[in-house]
Every structure is written in C-alpha cells, then in structure tokens.
Amino acid sequence: MLQFHTLASSSAGNAYLATDGQARLGIEAGLPWRQYQLAMKHQVSRLNGVLVTHQHADHSRAIKDVLKAGVDVYTSDAVAETIGRSHRLHVLPTNGVAVRIGDWRVLAFDLIHDVPCIGFLIQGPSGQKLAFITDTGYVPITLQGIDVLAVEANYSEPTVQAHVKRGVVDPRQAKRLAQSHLSIEQVLELVKAVDLRRCREIHLLHLSAGNSSARQFKHLLESATGIPTHIAPERGALA
C-alpha cells in the first residue's frame, strides 16, 4: 500500500517520503544534510530517487549531498541550472510524459510560484497514486483517481487580511502569498473538483506559523470530504 510520510514541513525545511512495499521515493530535500540523514534514519542510499519541486533552499538545500551519496535527483530545468548539471541530476518533462524511477512512475506538471516550480503525480508499484502539490498560487491541472493527496495549505485568507489590517503582515507579503501559495480556502475549492472516490487520506503541507490553524484546517477538510486529514508537523518522524 502506498504510504506518505512527512519528515519536515515548514519554511525552515521540507522533506517527505513515499513508500510502497520495499520501494522508497524521497520528495524534497530542504533540510541540512545531517538533519536529512537523521530524518531518513540514515537510509538515504535505499531511496530510488529524490524529487525536488523548485530551487528555494527550504526545498532543495540537501540536493548536492544527496547526489554525492549516489542517489539520483529528479527536478526542473531551472533547478538543474542552479545546482549544476550532473549524470545523477535529471530534468523531468512537464509535457504529460511520465518517467520511470525504479518501480515508480512520476508525472511532473508545472505549478505557479515566484520561481519555476513543479508538482508530481506519483504511481507506486501497487498502482496506487499520490498527488503532491506545494508552493503554487493555484493548481492548473485536474486530478483524477488518486489514493493519497498531499497539498499545501499555507494560510487562511481572512487571517492574512486581518493581520494586514493590524499591521502584523505587510501588504506586499500578503500579495506574494496570494500569488505563490495555496490558502485553505483554495484547497477546499480544489477538493470539490478532484475525483476523491479512491482517496483514503489527505495531508496538508507547509502551514504558515502565523497565518494558519492546524486544528481548524483539519476540521474543514474532513467536514468537506469525509476523508481522514493529517496536518504535516514542522518536524515529523518516520514511522
């Protein structure tokens, strides 16, 4: 069975793991290398590969160390240009063609962020599917037949606007959030458009420390979908 684990999820660093039987696929490498190794229980070499969405350090910080460890990284052309190309750094197409990574099939698609960013539709060896979406102003594709949804819910729009009025949040920061990150309100609209008949769990990622409420977000999603919803902690533990 396809399982999704949060190792870290915040602006300080992001790292996740998909597993399906013996197959293991890393998603994001945004922790310092020692922390990344610890989060992976020093089993980085067992990964079939690591997917990285974009070049911001909280998502890509450990890429060079992952490559040095002999693990292939799959990412966008923009990240490859930033990091420096190597035989283990692969650019994922976003033209609807899936790429095989060990026992996994990964379909990458473009997202809308302040730098080039991609999301992933990941199919494990069992045939189950995970959709992974973070750091985007909106979701430009329609998702169907997924078993696990991992999606950013960075902030609440009313909370941000209240903070702007109180002077807690700069209006320019609020504008950037709206253009480059998903709110819980947008996620609630997204799940209305997604075929969730097969979906057995939802994971909310990358919650803002000051502009979100984990308890409220969980309640809203479970009330809207009837699907168990998990809030990614800032620092998770691999079960």
pLDDT tens figures, 66-110 = 999 999 999 999 999 998 889 999 999 999 999 999 999 999 999
Coil, strand or helix: which one is 109?
Answer: strand
The Cβ of residue 42 has, within 10 Å, a number of other Cβ atoms equal to: 9
The residue-averaged pLDDT of 12-40 equals 94
Distance CA 62, CA 239 (A): 22
- Kindly report the backbone phi and psi dihedral angles of residue 108, in degrees, each rounded to the nearest multiple of 5, phi listed first: -95, 150
pLDDT band per the 50, 70, 90 thresholds, residue 236: very low
Q: Which helix (H) or strand (E) holds 133?
A: strand 129-133
pLDDT band per the 50, 70, 90 thresholds, residue 233: low
Distance CA 126, CA 196 (A): 18
For residue 210, what are the CA distances in angstroms to 155, 159, 188, 194? 8, 9, 20, 28
- What integer pLDDT is reported at residue 11 of this predicted model? 84
- What integer pLDDT is reported at residue 12 of this predicted model? 87
pLDDT band per the 50, 70, 90 thresholds, residue 153: very high
Instruction: Give yes or no for residue 235 having a pLDDT over 60.
Output: no
Prediction pTM value: 0.94
* pLDDT digit string, tens, across residues 168-220: 889 998 888 888 999 999 999 999 988 899 999 999 999 988 899 999 999 99
Task: Report residue 142 CA to chain centroid gap.
Answer: 17
Lookup: tokens for 69: 């460890």
Distance CA 163, CA 51 (A): 34
